[in-house]
Amino acid sequence: MNKTKRFCAIALAAMMAVTAFAGCGPTDTPPTTTGGDTTASAAGGDTTATPAGDSDPLGGEGAAGTINLKVWGPDAAQDVLKSQCAKFSENMKAYGDVQIEVVPQGEADSATQVLTDASAAADVFGFACDNLDKLVTAGALLEVAGADKDFVTSTNSEASVAAATKEDKIWAYPETGDNSYCLVYDKRVVSDEQAKTLEGTLEACKAANKKFVMDAGNGYYACLFMFTGGLQIDGYEEDGETQKFTEYDEDKVVKTMLAFSKLFVDYKDYFLNGDVTKTVDGFKSGTVGAGFDGSWNFSNAKATLGENAGFAILPTLDVDGTATPIINMFGYKLMGVNSSTKFPNTAIELAKFLTGEECQKERAEQLNWGPSNKVVAESDLIKNDAALNSILSQQANSVAQVAVSATFWTPVGTFGSKIVDADNPLDEASAKELVKTTIANVRDE
């Protein structure tokens, strides 16, 4: 491992914010607290809160005066979060005056802000699950323990709980189970049957003289080219920062790459390599028939296409005559409690409330967010919603977005661009070399 390169990479990461859901992890700049498995105090120096008494869920924190908390959430969720926080304050009136300020802060950037200065950050904040490791290492989160741990494990999907876990301890409260993408299409262009295969989807777009959109130069989407072939990530090496990959069959990975490459060359005139926002923009202008788009854009697609909005799990790819499911990256949004909070018991109760069944159901209804809560996920609300049902079903064909190295995204984005931007299909030799080069660059070797 080139230590100089690693130092530079870490130094650069410390100056950059986390990019969108597909972006790198947060910086390693330590907050004002330190790690350790101790008991939280008002100064926020520890990582486990004092359990609240059964008679007072706030643990007596309201007796000394007003409890002031700050909550971070994305712009799109501000109205819903404010309403939910107001309801929490009303519920807690018997135990104290809880005043909650809701501030816009995207989940992709919140971890960076906490790591920069935990004392100035929100008491409760949402974040993308691939930032968990760095937050825990920096001692920025209160551990979820005791009855709170039982609450998390009993109410949420096993995968979302795993995403909130590090070294057998739970550190956050699952907020959603949908941080991924699937196929979004105009039903007037692509039929539900054609949407089952990538070949059928591209052929439908060609027949209608419309584009298919994929952000193939972005590692978050481009990873599907290698994941589908069986080359997948597997956390970190023992140093805690070098990306580890699973054992893989080189021939299978190469055959899959060649299948993708040939298909995108064959349909080059009907493929648009660009940001996923171009999917809905193209629906509006009538130039796009389908695309791989994220759950965060589902509401916009529905508003644009109405009853013609189609949603499905990622289609299959024909690899040597076998319909092969496309494998992508699947993440979860988590809600953490800042270890620097002055009111740990109240902050914990608020995090539990905001990630509970009632609030997750409201966000599914109003924001189209896919739930991690098991009851909501099995409800008719989700089963009858094609978008949410598709994104939750995609989880079965995915790799968890946890323990992803900061060096993963750019090389994998380059990998994707080389597959879709070529004028001629890749050959076997160039595909093998591309795989080796990409792995070496990800591992910073």
pLDDT at residue 51, rounded to an integer: 46
Are 164 and 334 spatial neighbours (Cβ–Cβ below 8 Å)?
yes
Are 164 and 145 spatial neighbours (Cβ–Cβ below 8 Å)?
no
Which residues are CB-contacts of 287 (< 8 A; sequence separation ≥ 6)? 210, 211
Question: Using CA atoms, how far apart are residues 387 and 390, in angstroms rounded to an integer?
Answer: 5
pLDDT at residue 445, rounded to an integer: 73
**Pairing mode of beta strands 67-73, 98-104:** parallel
pTM assigned to the model: 0.80
pLDDT at residue 290, rounded to an integer: 98
pLDDT at residue 116, rounded to an integer: 92
Domains in the chain: ranges and CATH:
3-178+331-392 (3.40.190.10), 181-330+406-442 (3.40.190.10)
pLDDT by residue for the chain (445 residues), tens digit each? Answer: 443 334 334 333 333 333 333 333 333 322 222 233 333 433 333 444 444 445 899 999 999 899 999 999 999 899 999 999 999 999 999 999 999 999 999 887 899 999 999 889 999 999 999 999 999 999 999 999 999 999 999 999 999 999 999 989 999 999 999 989 999 999 999 999 999 999 999 999 999 999 999 999 999 999 999 999 999 999 899 888 899 999 999 999 999 999 999 999 999 999 999 998 999 999 999 999 999 999 888 989 999 999 999 999 999 999 999 999 999 999 999 999 999 999 999 999 999 999 999 999 999 999 889 999 999 999 999 999 999 999 999 999 999 998 899 899 999 999 999 999 888 999 999 999 999 999 999 998 7
pLDDT at residue 351, rounded to an integer: 98
Q: Which residues of 319-357 are buried (b: 16+ CB within 10 A; e: fewer)?
A: beeeebebbbbbbbbbbbbbbbbbbbbbbbbbbbbbbbe
pLDDT at residue 360, rounded to an integer: 97
Distances (CA, A) of 355 to 70, 99, 177, 393: 16, 19, 11, 21
pLDDT at residue 54, rounded to an integer: 55
Which residues are CB-contacts of 408 (< 8 A; sequence separation ≥ 6)? 24, 219, 233, 243, 442
pLDDT at residue 35, rounded to an integer: 31
pLDDT at residue 31, rounded to an integer: 28
Are 18 and 128 spatial neighbours (Cβ–Cβ below 8 Å)?
yes
